[in-house]
Structure 1
Amino acid sequence: MSTHGRRVPVGRAGRLRLRRNLATAQRGADLLERKLRLLLDRERVQRRAAEDAGSVWREELAAADTWLLRGVLLGGERALAQAVPVDRACIDVEWAALMGVRHPAAVAWTAPVRSPAEQMPPNTALAHAETAYRSAVRAAAEHAAHRTAAELLAAEAKRTRQRARALHRHWIPRLQRELSAVELALEEAEHEEAVRRRWAASQGVR
């Protein structure tokens, strides 16, 4: 007995093997569907967080640019040079894993610190610009982290969906067909055996 050129196991042992394979495939499909739901839920959370951080980033950047222009108009480019601290911001990305997918989970932000010898911004506009730029940088980092997480989760969700679809559309139906064929063959064999026994009994053959 064969299906699409593939030999199908026969007999009761073959039926038991197919039943086990079918149960394994169905459990695998259920696990993949569960994994897919979790990945899609987390992806949606990350995309919403990325949108929120992106909005903050754009708003703070626009505000910073406006304050910067005012500050330069008030104090000139020399005032701008005095307003920038030597220290730099530090951003660390914390990673997490969901269903085997490693992705950015949070951003740790450390703002630049002025030394006692450094001057403060020479006018209020540049002070506001500094605050807004710091918020913009932090929001940009959060936006990038959430967006990257969403893309990584989406890629794994796509692969998971393909594997689940292959089980549902190909493997499980094929195993079901093979199992039905084996059960039909066993049923026919048992029927033929019953007929033979009845005939033998009617002939007095033992």
Structure 2
Amino acid sequence: MTGVRRTPLGRAGRLRLRHSLDVAERGADLLEQKLRVLRAEHERLLSAEEQAAREWHALLPEAEIWLLRGLLLGGEQALDSAAAGIEPAQATVHWTTSMGVRHPGTVTLSLPTRPPTAAAPTNTALVHAEEVYGRAVRAAAEHAAAHTAAELMGAEVISTRHRVRALRRHWIPRLREALDRVGLALEQSEHEDGVRRRWAGRAVMTVHWNAAWISCSFALCETSRISSPGRSRSAGSARTRPSPRWRRPRRVRIRRRRRFP
């Protein structure tokens, strides 16, 4: 709102507000397109997370059952001897970027191989438990990556939705209101300027007409005086009164005679 308040009045302010409004509307359209893509990607990641979670939850009880069978058959010593000398599994997460959001993409899991010097499991239940636990760890890694990616994508969806809402409900209406206000002020100023110009034009035309009328009157008076220099002043003849502007009547002064005693 500070940018709208600091916008100068006049044509420059109107151009600036129009440019800001166009940028805001185009930005809102692009953010809406981005939001649609992000929602589709978020739904895909949520489905991948659910699938990995189902697979992980299905493999984990099976692995626990085979482990329990192996413990019942060989005891804890058999489990310790089978796990001796085996390194832990290593998971490598490959990150990717989708619509400006960096999130985990794929997971590479490297299960350790049993070295030749390590002791073999004493029963087949431990062998099946080792295999099922490997698949369960892989499913757990994929679930963790999908869960993290879905969280990051969901946060970006919420942030983009907030930005679109702020543009559509707050910023764009304020720009339109400011543009209407500046347009009305500019229209009023132009109307006042037009009225002043019309008044000035009328005043100039009046001066011109007055000057032309005076010139014509003076020309007519001069023409009438030159054309009839010795006209008769009899009672029957018509007298033309000279123009009072150019010929003033003489003042008649009556002198009284003195009476001597």
Same topology, TM > 0.5 = yes
- 2:7·2:16 contact (CA, 8 Å) conserved in 1? no
1:166: how far off? 1.4
Q: Which has the bigger relative contact order, CA under 8 A and spacing at least 6?
A: 1
Greater alpha carbon shift after TM alignment, 189-198 vs 26-35: 189-198
1:121: how far off? 2.1
How far, CA to CA, are the matches of 2:38 and 2:8 in structure 1? 37
- The residue number in structure 2 matching 1:150 is 150
Structure 2 unpaired stretches of 5+: 209-261
1:186: how far off? 2.1
> 4+ residue stretches of structure 1 with deviation over 6 A?
none
1:67: how far off? 0.8
- The residue number in structure 2 matching 1:40 is 39
Matched, 1:166 2:166: yes
- The residue number in structure 2 matching 1:73 is 72
- The residue number in structure 2 matching 1:124 is 124
The C-alpha deviation readout for 1:103-155, integer Å capped at 9, x for no partner, is 11110011110111223322221111111111111111111111011111111
How far, CA to CA, are the matches of 2:8 and 2:37 in structure 1? 37
Q: Secondary structure at the match of 1:88?
A: coil
Higher helix share: 1
1:168: how far off? 1.3
Q: Secondary structure at the match of 1:87?
A: coil
- The residue number in structure 1 matching 2:136 is 136
- The residue number in structure 2 matching 1:103 is 103
Q: What TM-score, normalized to structure 1?
A: 0.88
Q: Secondary structure at the match of 1:91?
A: strand
Q: What TM-score, normalized to structure 2?
A: 0.71
The C-alpha deviation readout for 1:42-94, integer Å capped at 9, x for no partner, is 22111111111111111111000011111111222222223325122110011
How far, CA to CA, are the matches of 1:166 and 1:30 in structure 2? 13
Structure 1 unpaired stretches of 5+: none
The C-alpha deviation readout for 1:4-40, integer Å capped at 9, x for no partner, is x934421111111110111111122222222222222
